[in-house]
Structures are given as structure tokens and as C-alpha cells.
Amino acid sequence: MDYGKTAPAVLEGVGGEANVESLVHCATRLRFVLKDASKADRSAVEATPGVITIVESGGQFQVVIGNDVAKAYAEIGRISGLGSDKARTKNTASEGQAGGNPLTRLVDVISSIFTPFLWTLAGAGLLKATIVLVTKVGLVSETSQEFTVLNAAGDGVFFFLPVLLAVTAARRFGANQWTSMAIAGSLVYPAIGALNEAGDPVSFFGIPMVMVAYASSVIPVILAVYVQSFVERGLDKALPSSIRNFITPMLTILLMVPLTLLTIGPASDWAGQGASGLIGWLFGLSPAVAGAVLGGTWQIMVVFGIHWGLVPMMANDLAVQGHSLLYGPLVAASAAQGAAVLAVMFRTRSKSLKKLAGPAAVSSFLAGITEPAVYGVNLRLKKPFVYACIAGAVGGGIASAGGSASTAYIMPGLLSLSAYLEVGSFALQLIGVGVAATLSFGLTMALGFKDVAEDTAEDAAENAAEADGRATGTDGPGTGAGTAPGRPAGESFEVAAPVEGRVVALTDVPDPVFASGTLGDGAAVAPSSGEVHAPIDGTVVSVMPHAYGLRSPEGVEVLVHIGIDTVRLGGEHFTTAVRQGDHVRLGDPLGEVDLAAVEAAGYDTTTMVIVLDAAGTGVVRTTEHTEVEHSTVLLSLGPQRALTPAG
């Protein structure tokens, strides 16, 4: 995938850089907070090569890319000012830019704070889990110096987690990130930690101070930076510019460190322990039921982005008690999605769906990254997603029945299972994962789903894009639901010209793929007008700026391809008037092209009209060199051979 092509298209689709309030990315998504959501063209972004789907949740416009999201993010940063500290800073500590209710705003805050270093946490968590494994099997002794070094490598990011959170929280709340880091550093300062460990009464100028452990903590530093943003803005307004730059940080640190230690820290610690205690109480009542509920609903929460609301609880559990029961059913939930998408790969006839399902299954199983599977396959087909949720509930209940919990921040995949060795029944964890995967795979294989077609018009658009020089390296805009191309036997069928101009024999088209009839039989028109119209009645099954796939009610599929190699233009000089799934009548507008601009860019504007799987049907073409209007009959398919009926 050439993300050098994807990035500008996505950026344009969200309304341009000027419309972006902030941008971060997580494991699979570009998370935009937009100034004006109405300026975003969802269909255009969704049709961009490299984009799996769009999710609008938590006040964010989330563009799902998959495991290579960092590459797309880097490309956007390269061509714009987004991704820089300044661009990601939000000067909205009191209100925020995320619309909706307090829950959606809270989700937006949490996700924007955690996502920038999500992979670092996951990588360090996997390292910690691996260290646990090698010590369990006796490869490294816990008393050795080697263990000390390796443990520091895996645990360092968690010990100093407040410092990392200070940076991202400062960007989110519009505070000075260096001042935020100074405040966070004070919280994890060794002498402060020693006061907590000593257990003796502590006071600050006679005010009793309740000491808590701040290493690895989450909530205290986030709240502290939130308050810091107000303090800084007040000081910036009150202080003269001649002393503001150094007096503001000094006074902010002087105020915020004692304030956090006296009030924010103890209060947030009590709240965190209370939430953790509630979760523990629920698991104590019935670990199996709690695990089943969480295992069955986890992927649903991921879809809506509300799973971020549990992340602080997980982090707090790890900091306070060294493990989190919330992780217990999550590997089973991820494995269930992976197994469902694996079954789809075996059952589907669609080549493009198979191509997506394989890597998505690997990502779900091994790394616990389920977005490609969920958005690219399972949720789109609906039933596999439901099967996986059911299986996740069963497997999650089994995994949690023995009190299984993770001792590290991980992505819940098979590669991280060693993090479950120390707490609860590891055997039940393995059984739960196995049952979830087996049940999900079995339900999907046995009960099935409504498949997409093996060779649909959008697949032809994909092949045409490859024939266009593979300039974008794309697989097309995605596969849509449909049936095998065909029409009732014994009936003729007419296809009109999509543009007005002069008829050209397909064999004279200067592209070997079209000229050879590899994609299907048809004709071409040298257009004299840039208006593109529907050549048949039917459904739009694919939309690319330079190509449209349509399917008639009889099952005949037609590809309209505007120009040779025009995919290299990346949509420039093209506008579309329809979306995938739209129903059109013969002559309805599909879009427009600036013929003069395309020709000036050095591209042939000959427009091809291809009927898929038309070989042997007796295609009759309008005489070449004839001038035609749009909607004039261009092709007539005779009844010599019946094709597979639709449906």
C-alpha cells in the first residue's frame, strides 16, 4: 500500500488540515477531532485505498487503517503540520471539542491521552510477560543481575507512566508539557515514594498529607494536568510578558505539586480503588458471569470506542494490586473474532475478502488487534460478528471462572498469554481461549452468512486499477455485497453509452488489459463531454473517482472506466455524484471529469464500458466512429448463452 497516496486523500476527505483540531493514532485507527464534522466527506474517505472503514464515536472521526496505521499517520505528518506537538495541543481544558454527552467526551479524553504511546505500552507489556515466562521455566533467575536489567527494561515505562501521561494530557488540555512532566516527576521522585513506604504520618506546613503510591498511577497526573491548564492560563493573563516565560512554570509547579499531593492524589486514589473494588466485587460474586458479560461485549465496546473507559481501571489495577481481572476474558474475545474471520476466509468466494481475512485473522489471534477483522470482514457480514461475540462470552466466562488475570498491560493476543501465568488458573484461561476460537469457527462454518460475490463489478474495478499501472498499490475501494454476474437465459440486454462522444473499438484502446478483453467484452467512447451517466438501471456496487461498477436487477455487471492510467491522478479532476449502494436509473449522473485538465496532465480520456463475463453472449456494438449521446445504446447482449442468474 502506498500511503503517500492514501494520506492526502484522507486529509482532503476530512476537510483539509484547517478542519483538524487534533490527530493521534492508536493500534489501527487515525483519530481525528474535527472543527466542523459536517465538512468531512465520509464516503470519499471510506473509498480511499488503504482505508478499511470509518467510525464516528466519542467526538472523533476515526479512520480505520489496520496494522500499518503508523505509516499513514507518518505520511500525514510529512505533508502537513499535523502530528506535531502544536497541532495536537487542544486549548479546551474546560469544554473540549468532542460533542455529545459527558460519556462521549470522557472517552475522547481517555483515548487521546493513551493512544500516542499505546504500542509502547503493549510492547513493554509483552516484554514483561516474556520475562515472567523465562523465569518460570528457569532460564533466568529472579535473583540474578540479568533479571534486574531485563525487568527494568520491561517495567520502566510502567513505573514512569505518570510522566508519559503528563506529556499526552498536556497536549490534550493545552498545558505546557514540560511543566507537566516536572509535576509528574515530582510525584514519582524517590523521596516522595519513600515517605509513602515508611508509613509514618506526613504533613505539609501542618496540613496532614495522605501518601499514596504514584509510580504507575494514572488518574492523579491526568487530573493534575487538567487543573494545571487552568492555572497556566490564569497566570499568563495576569503576568507581564517580561517575566511570564519563567515565572508561570515556577508558580505552576510550586502550586500544583503540593495541591496534587494534598488533594488530587488521595482523592483519585480513593476513587480508583473504589472502582477497582467494585469490579473485584462483581468478579467475586461470579467470575464466570462477569467474564462472560465482558467477553461477549468487549468487541461491541471496541466498535463504539467506549472500551477506553476501562483502560484507567486496568492501569489502576495493575498499579495497586499488580494484576487486573478485567483482562481475564479478553484473549478469548479476540480469538473468537480471529476464528470467525478465519472461517470466512474458507467459506467466501470473494477473492478480495479472502485477501483481507487471512491477515486479519493473524492480527486477531497473535496480537489481539481485532479492528481489521471486525471492520473489514465480520461486522460487515454481520453474522460472523454475532457468532464471535457469543463465543467470546462462553470462552470469556470459562477463562475468568478460575480468576485469571493479567499482570501486565498487554494487547490480549496469544503472544501475551504468559502475562496470565501468575494469577488464577492458567489452564482455564487456555481452555477458554480454545473454546471461544473453536465455537466461533464452528458457528461461522456451520451457520454461514450472506456471502459477497466471487467476481463482482468492484473486483473488476480492482483489476482495472491494477491494470492502470498499480500506481496506488490498492485493492480498490472494497468489496460490496452482491451476486454472481448473470441474467435470465434467452433475454437480450442493452447497455448505453455513459458519455457523449465518438465510439472507439475496444481493441483500439491503448491499454492491453482492456483491448484484450481480459476484464470482459465491451466498447469505448472518446468523450466530448465530461458528464458521466449510468449506462444501465441498477445498483452502484463500487465507486472510484475514475471508475464505477454497476449491477442490473438481472445480474448483469458493467464497469465504466474513465481514461487510461487515470488512477495515477488520485481523484484529481474527478467528482462523483453517487455512493456505493445507490440505486440509479439509465441516464442518471454518476459524476464529472474535467477532460481538458486530464488531457493536459498527459492522460488519454477514452472511456471504457465493459460487460463482465460477456464472452459468448453475442455482444453487438454500435459502429465505431459513430457519434453518440449519453444513454444511446452502445452494446446489445444477445441471448446466445445464458449466464448465471442473479441471486
What digits encode the pLDDT tens for the residues 398-456? 999 989 999 887 778 888 888 898 899 999 999 999 999 999 999 999 998 887 654 44
Q: For residue 494, report the phi and psi dihedrals to the nearest 5 degrees.
A: -115, 140
Identify which has the larger pLDDT, 106 or 182.
Answer: 182
Is 26 an annotated catalytic residue? yes
Question: Distances in Å between the alpha carbon of 370 and those of 71, 144, 207, 430?
Answer: 18, 38, 50, 19
Q: Which of 19, 21, 53, 55 is nearest to 39 (CA)?
A: 19
Q: Using an 8 Å Cβ cutoff, are 503 and 523 in contact?
A: yes
Q: What is the mean pLDDT of the chain?
A: 80
Q: What is the C-alpha to C-alpha distance for residues 361 and 369, in angstroms, rounded to an integer? A: 9
Q: What is the mean pLDDT of residues 619-634?
A: 76
Say how far residue 607 (Cα) sits from the centre of its chain. 35
Structural element, H or E, at residue 166: helix 161-173
pLDDT of the residue at 644: 32
Is 583 an annotated catalytic residue? no
Structural element, H or E, at residue 60: strand 60-64
pLDDT digits (tens, 9 = 90+) for 52-94: 888 887 678 989 887 678 888 888 988 887 864 433 343 333 3
Q: Which of 387, 296, 309, 287 is nearest to 344 (CA)?
A: 387
Catalytic option among 533, 546, 561, 630: 561
Q: Is the pLDDT of residue 268 over 70?
A: yes
pLDDT of the residue at 541: 83
3-class secondary-structure state, position 141: coil
- pLDDT confidence tier of residue 581, bands split at 50, 70 and 90: confident
Q: Is the pLDDT of residue 338 over 50?
A: yes
Structural element, H or E, at residue 184: helix 177-187
Looking only at the bridges linking them, the beta strands covering 207-209 and 627-628 are: unpaired
pLDDT digits (tens, 9 = 90+) for 279-292: 678 888 889 999 99
What grid cell was written down for 34?
474535527
Catalytic option among 26, 389, 533, 546: 26
For residues 626-640, one letter each, b for 16 or more C-beta atoms within 10 angstroms of the residue's C-beta and e for the rest, the string is: eebebbeebbebeee
DSSP H helices in 14-84: 42-46, 69-79
Q: What is the C-alpha to C-alpha distance for residues 568 and 63, in angstroms, rounded to an integer? A: 23
- pLDDT confidence tier of residue 273, bands split at 50, 70 and 90: low
Q: What is the C-alpha to C-alpha distance for residues 278 and 269, in angstroms, rounded to an integer? A: 14
Highest mean pLDDT among 75-89, 124-138, 253-267, 542-556: 253-267
For residues 428-461, one letter each, b for 16 or more C-beta atoms within 10 angstroms of the residue's C-beta and e for the rest, the string is: bbbbbbebbbbbbbebbbeeebebbbbbbbbbbb
What grid cell was written down for 382?
454481520
pLDDT digits (tens, 9 = 90+) for 285-328: 889 999 999 999 888 876 665 565 677 778 778 877 888 899 99
Highest mean pLDDT among 5-9, 580-584, 629-633: 5-9
What grid cell was written down for 475?
485493492
